[in-house]
Structure 1
Amino acid sequence: MASEAFEEIADTFEFLDDWEDRYRHVIELGKEMPHLDDAVKVPATKVEGCASQVWLLPRIEGTGPEARFNFQGESDAMIVQGLIAILHALYSGLTVSEVTATNAEAELARLGLNDHLSAQRSNGLRAMVERIRLLATEAATA
């Protein structure tokens, strides 16, 4: 159930043979993400479990399970900012019920990230996915 934006990322990863090139691509994706206003970088938006600083700000349109999910995010680490961009491509525009049904681990495994991220980065990525699922679950019941 991957979005077109995520499929484009997956296609680019298939095209890039070298992991150095893939890392550069992830960093470039992160550079394209807009920055968060410092006023929203508060404990309520901070993702715990990440080695670097990460903030996710949900943007949900509508109510209930059919509400549309979107978010903004930022990190102080370039590679993590790129991982936020990948998650944005995976989830943004889905309904909150689709977000909770998305198998992020399987989709991200298609990119080979599990094999090429440090344990700390992998834990941080899992923490971001868990936060996104929680935000979507809360929105579905609101």
Structure 2
Amino acid sequence: MAQDAFEDIVADFEFLEDWEDRYRHVIELGRGMDPLDDALKVPATKVDGCASQVWLHPVIEGGRFRFDGDSDAMIVRGLIAVLRALYNGLPVGEVARVDAGAELARLGLQEHLSAQRSNGLRAMIERVRGVAAAA
């Protein structure tokens, strides 16, 4: 079961019929995030496998998982916002149970992302799952 914040994005996508409008919405989601502090943009938080610069900073508090992130590409920053809606607030043990591919398929993202962006999205998901599994 996806988080309420992710369900809101799904509902928004159902309302927005045109992919260009959906693309703009993803960018707006990214613009709505607070920037990641430059001190956290270090090799340990950088995600390899992305065409853009991407940093994810995970935090586990009270057994719950969340992460902040940033990118130098607006659409990737928006994809980070989508992933935050999917994962943030989950009990750390449930992160690995999220079928991110199936959830993101509800948005139709895969058909509209370049191969490089799709690979980067997979790399971000793997990082999230890896950090949660190690916790």
TM-score range, shorter chain: over 0.9
Please name the residue that 2:33 is paired with.
33
Q: Does 1:128 align with 2:98?
A: no
Please name the residue that 1:61 is paired with.
61
TM-score (norm 1): 0.94
Matches within 5 A, 1:39-118: 39-62=39-62, 67-118=63-114
> SS where residue 47 of structure 2 aligns?
coil
Q: What does the per-residue CA deviation read over 1:10-43, in whole Å, with 9 as the maximum and x for residues that have no partner?
A: 0100110100000000000000111111111000
Q: What does the per-residue CA deviation read over 1:63-108, in whole Å, with 9 as the maximum and x for residues that have no partner?
A: xxxx100010000000000000000000000011111110000000
For 1:78 and 1:36, the matched residues in 2 are separated by 14
For 1:97 and 1:110, the matched residues in 2 are separated by 23
Matched AA of 1:55: W
> SS where residue 34 of structure 1 aligns?
coil
| Aligned length, in residue pairs | 135
> SS where residue 97 of structure 1 aligns?
helix
Gaps of at least 5 residues in structure 1 are none
For 2:32 and 2:115, the matched residues in 1 are separated by 25
For 1:104 and 1:97, the matched residues in 2 are separated by 15
Matches within 5 A, 1:4-43: 4-43=4-43
Matched AA of 1:43: P
Matched AA of 1:100: A
Identical pairs, percent: 72
TM-align CA RMSD:
0.5
> SS where residue 93 of structure 1 aligns?
coil
TM-score (norm 2): 0.99
> SS where residue 28 of structure 2 aligns?
helix
